[in-house]
């Protein structure tokens, strides 16, 4: 069956063609380069956003998406807007935002999507319409393999961003470039990419204007999720709680037993990752140290916060913690480090071999080597407001100078074959 489609509304950003000028001489010119960033947002965030902004479903696709962008959930959308300002025509697709995506389909008279596969079918239609030079696929592995290969019929090149060194086998064929914050990402198959570019996420200072002045009301916070992949995180947080630290934890916790079984069965069927399946099932049926730690955390657990509310929570903290996912290894640099310091909060992070490349420990952030070390640091630090403020200001200064969207964009330019 032949499908006729129109491309009516696929022009969500201002199309600007510009050049970088130095002393009246054109150094770099970006002309007619088109990039489509394809991602999915956390389902928890989408539920959170639409509960706070129910009326957006009545807006047009462009107005609807703009409202999501205004909430500053993560750096990819912020980077896409920055790229537009640099003259790259950039589209940003949130493939699992159902009301948003179906609004685009309605406006573009695309009706040939199914109730069970609408995410990929609408996304593919958007790629057809936009015809990007570069298709950027975020860490959404369901779109690897066949989807990417089909999408290359309508785009010249595919690249991918993956933020953690996942170890499960995966089909990366079709991708030319791997962008990542961790050199160990896909380490055994990096030779399948033409380029591997290591960079760190950038902070958008627009967030500071949006949140304004925030009163400090929490001594210590951790803002982030806890799952079977965060056993160290759970251990450290539970240890602080048991030792009397006034900490609040904002984020999701592991599901209950029945839901864990269902999810694990689905995981086995989908990814055939038996090692992870066995580990999670063991945690489901046998009460492990991890489960006991989660029980302790429930006593201080708060509802998850996202977007600008997440930034406000961090800004309201005297100290906020960063504890990486278990598989990260020796490389620090998740987005939480730049979010917390960027909004001007004192960051206390686990030590890693690479942390000196990002911040100066003891001056711009504080670091710990063990849970016992962390407890001692917090107990002393809570009685030293002057030091907390000094660390917070120095960390924020470093982020606003070095860990910016501009720096990230310059890092990834080779992925677009521009200098």
C-alpha 56/C-alpha 68 separation (Å) is 9
For each of the domains in the chain, give its residue range(s) and CATH number, in order of start.
18-201+404-416 (3.40.50), 206-253+298-402 (3.40.50.2000)
> Left, alpha or beta for 248 (phi > 0: left; psi -120 to 50: alpha)?
beta
Q: Residues in the chain, how many?
A: 419
Band of pLDDT at residue 17, cut at 50, 70 and 90: very low
Integer angstrom CA distances of residue 379 from 245, 247, 349? 8, 12, 15
pLDDT of residue 91: 98
pLDDT of residue 8: 40
pLDDT of residue 30: 67
Average pLDDT over residues 72-85: 96
Q: What is the torsional sign of CA 285, 288, 294, 295? A: positive
pLDDT of residue 150: 98
- Write down the residue that tokens 């069927």 correspond to: 269
Band of pLDDT at residue 401, cut at 50, 70 and 90: very high
pLDDT of residue 169: 80
- Percentage of the chain beyond pLDDT 70 is 84
**SS3 annotation, the chain:** CCCCCCCCCCCCCCCCCEEEEECCEEEEEECCCEEEEEECCCHHHHHHHHHHCHHHHHCCHHHHHHHHHHCCCCHHHHHHHHHHHCCCEEEEEECCCHHHHHHHHHHCCCCCCCCCCHHHHHHHHHHHHHCCCEEEECCCHHHCCHHHHHHCCCCCEEEEEECCCCCCCCCCCCEEEEEECCCCCCHHHHHHCCEEEECCCCECCHHHHHHCCCCCCEEEEEECCCCCCCHHHHHHHHHHHHCCCCEEEECCCCCCHHHHHHHHHHHHHHHCCHHHHHHHHHHHHCCCHHHHHHHHHCCCEECCCCHHHHHHHHHCEEEEEECCCHHHCCCCCCHHHHHHHHCCCEEEEECCCCHHHCCCECCCEEEECCHHHHHHHHHHHCCCHHHHHHHHHHHHHHHHHHCEHHHHHHHHHHHHCCC
Cβ neighbours around 130 below 10 Å, total? 22
Contact 276, 267 (CB under 8 A): yes
Question: Is the confidence at residue 6, as pLDDT, over 60?
Answer: no
Least confident span in 83-92, 129-138, 239-248, 325-334: 325-334
Q: Tell me the pairing of strands 301-302 and 247-250.
A: parallel
Average pLDDT over residues 80-100: 97
Q: What is the torsional sign of CA 63, 65, 67, 70? A: negative
Question: Is the confidence at residue 267, as pLDDT, over 60?
Answer: no
C-alpha 104/C-alpha 115 separation (Å) is 16
Top-confidence residue, 309 or 26 = 309
Top-confidence residue, 286 or 105 = 105
Average confidence score pLDDT of the chain: 88
Integer angstrom CA distances of residue 7 from 33, 126, 256? 18, 8, 45
Band of pLDDT at residue 4, cut at 50, 70 and 90: very low
pLDDT of residue 24: 33
C-alpha 261/C-alpha 22 separation (Å) is 60
Band of pLDDT at residue 268, cut at 50, 70 and 90: low
Least confident span in 245-259, 295-309, 396-410: 245-259
Top-confidence residue, 23 or 386 = 386
Average pLDDT over residues 208-234: 94
Quick: pLDDT tens for 272-285.
Answer: 556 666 665 665 56
Question: Is the confidence at residue 392, as pLDDT, over 90?
Answer: yes
C-alpha 140/C-alpha 191 separation (Å) is 21
pLDDT of residue 355: 93
C-alpha 345/C-alpha 311 separation (Å) is 10
Average pLDDT over residues 174-192: 93
Contact 151, 136 (CB under 8 A): no
pLDDT of residue 333: 83
C-alpha 40/C-alpha 37 separation (Å) is 10
Q: Rounded to the nearest 5 degrees, what angle is found at the Cα of 221, between the Cα atoms of 216 and 225?
A: 140
C-alpha 334/C-alpha 384 separation (Å) is 27
C-alpha 226/C-alpha 235 separation (Å) is 10
Question: Is the confidence at residue 80, as pLDDT, over 70?
Answer: yes
Quick: pLDDT tens for 372-386.
Answer: 999 999 999 999 999
Average pLDDT over residues 295-308: 95
Band of pLDDT at residue 157, cut at 50, 70 and 90: very high
Least confident span in 30-34, 138-142, 156-160, 340-344: 30-34
């Amino acid at each position: 069956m032949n499908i006729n489609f129109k491309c009516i509304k696929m022009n969500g950003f201002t199309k600007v063609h510009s050049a970088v000028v130095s002393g009246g001489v054109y150094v770099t010119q970006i002309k007619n380069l088109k990039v489509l960033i394809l991602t999915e947002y956390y389902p928890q965030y989408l539920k959170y956003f639409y509960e706070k902004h129910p009326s957006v479903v009545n807006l047009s696709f462009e107005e609807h998406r703009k409202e999501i962008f205004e909430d500053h959930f993560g750096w990819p959308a912020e980077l896409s807007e920055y790229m537009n300002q640099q003259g790259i025509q950039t589209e940003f697709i949130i493939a699992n935002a159902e009301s948003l995506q179906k609004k685009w389909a309605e406006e573009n008279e695309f009706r040939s999507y199914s109730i069970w596969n609408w995410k990929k079918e609408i996304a593919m239609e958007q790629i057809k319409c936009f015809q990007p030079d570069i298709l950027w696929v975020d860490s959404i592995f369901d779109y690897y393999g066949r989807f990417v290969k089909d999408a290359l019929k309508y785009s010249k090149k595919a690249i991918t961003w993956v933020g953690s060194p996942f170890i499960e086998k995966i089909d990366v064929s079709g991708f030319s470039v791997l962008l990542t914050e961790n050199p160990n990402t896909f380490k055994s198959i990096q030779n399948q990419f033409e380029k591997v570019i290591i960079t760190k996420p950038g902070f958008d200072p627009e967030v500071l204007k949006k949140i304004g002045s925030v009163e400090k009301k929490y001594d210590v916070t951790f803002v982030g999720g806890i799952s079977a992949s965060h056993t160290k995180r759970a251990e450290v947080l539970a240890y602080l709680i048991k030792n009397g630290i006034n900490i609040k934890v904002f984020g999701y916790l592991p599901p209950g037993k029945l839901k864990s079984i269902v999810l694990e069965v689905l995981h086995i069927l989908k990814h055939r990752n038996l090692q992870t399946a066995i580990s999670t099932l063991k945690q489901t049926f046998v009460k492990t140290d991890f489960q006991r730690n989660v029980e302790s955390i429930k006593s201080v657990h708060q509802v998850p916060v996202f977007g600008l509310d997440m930034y406000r929570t961090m800004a309201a903290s005297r100290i906020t913690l960063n504890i990486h996912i278990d598989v990260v290894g020796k490389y620090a640099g998740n987005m939480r480090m730049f979010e917390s310091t960027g909004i001007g909060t004192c960051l206390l992070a686990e030590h890693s071999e690479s942390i000196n490349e990002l911040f100066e420990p003891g001056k711009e952030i504080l670091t710990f080597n063990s849970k016992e070390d962390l407890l001692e640091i917090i107990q002393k630090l809570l009685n030293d407001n002057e030091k907390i403020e000094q660390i917070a200001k120095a960390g924020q200064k470093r982020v606003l100078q070095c860990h910016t969207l501009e720096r990230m964009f310059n890092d990834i330019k080779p992925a677009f074959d521009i200098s």
